[in-house]
Structure formats: C-alpha cells, structure tokens
Structure 1
Amino acid sequence: MEGSLDLLRLPPLPRAFYERPTEEVARELLGKILLRDHDGRPLAGRIVEVEAYLGAHDLACHSARGKTPRTAVMFGPGGRAYVYMIYGMYHCLNVVTEPEGSPCAVLIRALEPLVALPGSLCGPGRLCRTLAIDRSLTGHDLATPPLWLVDSPDLSPRGPIARSPRIGVDYAGEWAERPLRFFIDGNPWVSGARSLKKGPTRTL
C-alpha cells in the first residue's frame, strides 16, 4: 500500500497523453494511478490490466455500430471517461483516446489498491463499484477531479508487460483474436488470467 503518499496532490496526466494511438496509450496506462475523490476520501489504485478498442473498424468496439447517444463521447476528444453498463448491473470505465473524431478507447480492467478500500478492484465491474464510478461520469474530463489519472516515478509497473486477446469478445470475428489486452504479468490483481484459452504473447 502507498498510504503515505498524498495522492490527491499528484498532478493529473496531461490531455495530450490520451490523444495518441490507442495501443500506445493502453500500454503506457499500466502503472498509472486512477484516483477517485469520494467525499474528500482518496480512493486509488495502480492500473495493472487494460484492453484497447480501436474504433469503427474494430468489431469489438462499441463505435463499430456508429455514433449513438451512448457512444457519442467516444467521438469527442481524448481524455474523457466513457462509462457503460453491462448485464444491467455492472459499470465499466473506459478512457477515450486519440483526437476528436477517432472513436477509440481503453477499458480499465483491473487495479492494484494503493489505499485501504471497501471492495475488490479485480475486474472492470468490481473496480467501478468499489470506486463509486457510474454513468454519471460519462464525458468527465480525466484531467480533473473527482476522477482523474496521475503518474508517479515511484509507482511504475512492477513486472513485465504482457499481452493477449481481449476477454469476452468472441462475437467480434477475427478481432476476437487480436492481442489487444495488456497487463502486468504475474500481478495478483490482474482479472482475466484464468479465463484465457491461450497463453499471453510477451511484449515490451
């Protein structure tokens, strides 16, 4: 745990960080800190697992179905939150990437806790529940409270970065096999390791 850090004082990642190629952003999000100021209390975790979604040509990406009220934020500038619900009960947090008009995003799948928290951060639905993230935060600028991302040289990824196919996108044809899931190999907070049929392909 990194409880000695005054997490709320760490500067946010600049907006320019997000307006780059999505796979590049996804890899570099590993080790970054997601902060949630919940009634003055810092809820925080280090990102250890993400998935990249590459826009309209990626059949696993929501924007492949075109621009809708739900996905409109994906077509805007990078650095915004895109929160959606699955199974009618779980929220998922995505970071919009690339310049405006390129509807891409990175799903935050798992965090390693940095402070004492009331629930699990292992899995996209669990981390949203624990950090009180819901659809009211869709469109939120992730360079500002109450939800933002920060960097710290003392909190770099602890372990090699690996990649694999994304989880739960079997419907996406050949896109289901693309190795667009990035994670810190061996980290116990990674959510999907046991559900994979194929081993990860090492990268970086």
Structure 2
Amino acid sequence: MVARELLGCALVHFHHGEWLGGWIVETEAYLAIDDPACHGARGLGRSNASMFADAGTLYVYPIHAKFCVNLVTQGVGIGSAVLIRAIEPVWGVEVMKQNRGTNDSRRITSGPGMICSAMQVDRISDGVDVTRSNEWALHSGHDVIDDVIATPRIGISQAVDLPLRFFVDGNRYVSGLAREHTRPRREQLGTLGE
C-alpha cells in the first residue's frame, strides 16, 4: 500500500544549501513476512537496524560502492520498507546533474544508486526520520493512482515473482524496460509546486 501511495509524492534532501529531489515515480516494497529478499528477513542487526525503526525512518544501505534509500513503513521491531527506485528530478536539477556527472536528465535519478548519488545520500542519512528532519522532506503531490503498474521487483535473486514493484506508466524517468509500460515512456509529472 505504501509503495503505491508514495508514487507522485515529492522527496527532497537539503544538502549544502540546496534542496535536491523530485517526484517519486518508481518504488519496490520489501515485506516483513515471507519475503526472503527483504533485508529484515535475516533479523535485526547493526547494518539494518533502521529498517526496524518507526515508519518514516530512512533505511540507507550500501550496494556495489553506491547507496540505496528506503522509507520504513511499519512500527518499531517490524523490518519492512519501500525502496525508492526512481524520481523525476525537479528541485536542484543542475546540482544533481553535476553530482551525477551527466547532462542527460534521464540519467540523473532513474535508478536507486543514481538517486543517492544525485541527491548526495549516504549512510549519514540512515536512521533519519523524514517526518522530523530539517534536511529531508516528503510531501504529497500528484495523484497518479490510475497510472500505476505493478510488476515483479528487479535486480534481486530471491522472491523474484512477487509483484511488488510499482511505477507511473509512461513516465520517462522509470528504470527498467520500456515494454513494461502500456504507453510510450515520454511523460513527466511536471513541476507542480516548483
């Protein structure tokens, strides 16, 4: 439910005097029960402790010399979160391009590692409560519920058939294959509230 509802919301990070971020257009849910791909499946440990914190906490973990940012979705002691897979860049776009070393706007935040690189997210943000932070904000934005497609998650080796990846159909910033969309991947949510 949360993975779907996050689509169309704004996620921003205040870094070195500038807000960086945009509209969430792709997510993946990782469940506390019967989901071996979830980092919480192995139990509470030092590296995944924030995943067992209050809903609204960031769980940031390293992978392949990059980072991924997740939003914890349940109560204390329940390891469940939503991976932010893609964002349509809106705020601090030029800075995010510099951070990513590209002028191609589609290559700024069209994948979880790209998001963290563009928005300057690392383990320092792990455990931050976005509902109370001065450096993070999550706000409602676009109603995209009628444009959501669900597919199996990508880039994992366990529980690969669960339809827990959600994205905005036709949005040009969604990662993955174009054939997963029902319409051409050229659309944008726009700059509402910019």
Q: What TM-score range do you get, normalising by the shorter chain?
A: 0.7 to 0.9
What TM-score comes out, normalization by structure 1 length?
Answer: 0.77
Task: Give the gaps of 5 or more residues in structure 2.
Answer: 101-107, 183-194
Secondary structure of the residue that 1:113 maps to in structure 2?
strand
Give the superposition deviation at 1:158.
8.9
Alignment-derived partner of residue 117 in structure 2: 129
Alignment-derived partner of residue 7 in structure 2: 30
Secondary structure of the residue that 2:160 maps to in structure 1?
helix
Identity %: 43
Verify: 1:98 aligned to 2:105, yes or no: no
Alignment-derived partner of residue 184 in structure 1: 168
Task: Give the gaps of 5 or more residues in structure 1.
Answer: 1-23
Task: Decide whether the 8 Å contact of 2:33 with 2:41 is kept in 1.
Answer: yes
Secondary structure of the residue that 1:44 maps to in structure 2?
strand
What TM-score comes out, normalization by structure 2 length?
Answer: 0.81
Task: Decide whether the 8 Å contact of 1:73 with 1:82 is kept in 2.
Answer: yes
Verify: 1:54 aligned to 2:41, yes or no: no
Alignment-derived partner of residue 143 in structure 2: 156
Secondary structure of the residue that 2:26 maps to in structure 1?
strand
Aligned length: 169
Distance 1:92 1:82, change over 3 A: same
Verify: 1:109 aligned to 2:85, yes or no: yes
Verify: 1:80 aligned to 2:57, yes or no: yes
Using the alignment, how far apart are the partners of 2:19 and 2:68 within structure 1?
20
Q: How much is the aligned-residue C-alpha RMSD, in angstroms? A: 1.9
Letter in 2 for 1:164: T
Secondary structure of the residue that 1:69 maps to in structure 2?
coil
Secondary structure of the residue that 2:51 maps to in structure 1?
helix
Task: Decide whether the 8 Å contact of 2:69 with 2:116 is kept in 1.
Answer: yes
Verify: 1:142 aligned to 2:136, yes or no: no
Verify: 1:44 aligned to 2:33, yes or no: no
Using the alignment, how far apart are the partners of 2:54 and 2:177 within structure 1?
32
Moved more, 39-48 or 175-184: 39-48
Give the superposition deviation at 1:159.
6.7
Alignment-derived partner of residue 19 in structure 1: none
Query: In the TM superposition, what whole-angstrom CA distance separates every residue of 1:158-201 from its partner, at most 9, and x where no partner exists?
Result: 9710010000112x1xx21010000001101001225x8xx579
Distance 1:57 1:63, change over 3 A: same
Task: Decide whether the 8 Å contact of 2:59 with 2:70 is kept in 1.
Answer: yes
